Amino acid sequence: MPKPKDEFDGLYPCDFYTAEELFEPGEMYTVYEIGRLLQGLDPESELEPDTEAVLLDWAIPWVVANSEDLVVGNPVAEDQPGYYGLKREDDRRD
């Protein structure tokens, strides 16, 4: 249910990292790792499933919003997610 803005103690800008700020050049990340990075966590941090689900809710729209700056790599196995990384001029295009 929506709430009036005046019910909140404070309102803050909805700023997110750019892909260049978030990713290390030459590295590829899953959406789960991206969710952790967006919260300032190590991409390999262990999280409770409920926490991971919330972070995934942040990561997916971030990937969509930053898609022009990203490349996608296929999952290493059928039951695993794909990978995302910074787009570079020398990246292979198939």
Number of independent structural domains in the chain = 1
Q: Indicate whether 80 belongs to any domain.
A: yes
Q: Indicate whether 12 belongs to any domain.
A: no
* Domain range enclosing 45: 23-86
Per the confidence metrics, is the pTM higher than 0.75?
yes
> Of 89 and 68, which is predicted with more confidence?
68
Q: Indicate whether 14 belongs to any domain.
A: no
Q: Indicate whether 61 belongs to any domain.
A: yes
Comparing 5-9, 27-31, 37-41, 86-90, the range with the smallest average pLDDT is: 86-90
Q: Indicate whether 74 belongs to any domain.
A: yes
Cβ atoms of 25 and 88 within 8 Å: the answer is yes
**Segment 65-90 mean pLDDT:** 93
Residue 61 to residue 65: CA distance in whole angstroms: 6
**Segment 4-8 mean pLDDT:** 95
**Segment 16-32 mean pLDDT:** 94
* DSSP 3-state percent helix, strand, coil across the chain (nearest 5): 35, 10, 55
